[in-house]
Amino acid sequence: MADLEAVTGYYGRWASIYDLVARYTPGLAAIRARLADELDLEPGESVVEMGCGTGANLPYLRERVGHSGQVLGLDLTPGVLQHARNRIERAGWKNVGVVRGDAARPPIRSADAILATFVVGMLDDPAAAVEGWCDRLPQGSRIGLLDARRTDRRLLAPANGLFRAFVLLTAPPGTRLRYEESPARVLDRRIEAARGVLEDRCTAITSARVGLGFLDLSVGTVD
C-alpha cells in the first residue's frame, strides 16, 4: 500500500505537467490518432482505456465511436482523473466517463476494445494483466498497446542513454528501490511480456516502432 500511495501521490502532484507533455509532445498526437485508427472502432462500440491519465486519448476514441458509443477511462490517480473529467466537461461528452480503477484488476466485464498507453511498463505483472484483459473481451474485440522504450534505430542509439536517465528520473520514488537493474531494462522486459500475451491471444496483429523508434505500438484482435 505504501508503494501505491507513493505512486498515486507522485503522479497527482505532477498531473498538470504530465498533461502538457501528453498533449504537446511533437508527433505524439498523430501517434495517438494512429493507434485509435488501428483499433478499428466503429460508431456505437465501447472502448475502455486502462491508465487513461489526464485523458489525452479520449478525444480520439470519442471521435471514432461517435455519440452512440461508450468510452470509459480507468486510472488509479485522483489528480490525473480530475484533469480527464475537466476535459470531458469542457467537450460536453455525455458518453465518455472516467473512474478510479486498477488496470491490473479492472472493474469491467466486457468491451469492444481495450487501449493501454504507457501502462504495461508500470505493472508488476503485465502479462497477467493483458491475459485478464483478453479474458474480458469477446472474440473479435481488439486490444491496443503503446509504450515508450529504448529506440531500435542504430543512428539514434546514443540517445538511449538519455532515455534511460529519463526513465530513472521519472520513476515514482516509492518504486525506484525495487529495481535491482536498469529501469529501462525492466521496462523493456515488461513490454515484451505484455506483447507476448498479445501475440499468443490475438490474431491480425499490427506492430510498429514509431516516434523515432522510441514508441512500441501493437494492436491485435482477440481470437
What's the rounded Cα separation, in Å, for the pair 119 and 126? 9
> Cell numbers 497477467 label which residue?
128
* Residues 6+ positions from 62 with CB-CB distance below 8 Å: 69, 71, 91, 93, 95, 96
Burial of residue 202 (CB within 10 Å: 0-12, 13-18, 19+) is buried
Dig out the grid coordinates for 197 from the structure: 500475451
Domains and CATH numbers, the chain: 2-222 (3.40.50.150)
Q: What is the pLDDT of residues 166-209, one digit of tens each?
A: 887 777 765 554 556 778 888 899 999 999 999 999 999 999 99
Mean pLDDT, the chain, integer:
91
Q: In what order do the strands lie in the sheet with 70-75?
A: 96-100, 70-75, 46-50, 113-117, 142-148, 215-222, 202-210
Dig out the grid coordinates for 193 from the structure: 511480456
Q: What is the pLDDT of residues 77-104, one digit of tens each?
A: 999 999 999 999 999 999 999 999 999 9
pTM to 2 decimals? Answer: 0.90
Q: What is the pLDDT of residues 28-50, one digit of tens each?
A: 999 999 999 999 999 999 999 99
When comparing pLDDT for 220 and 26, which is higher? 220
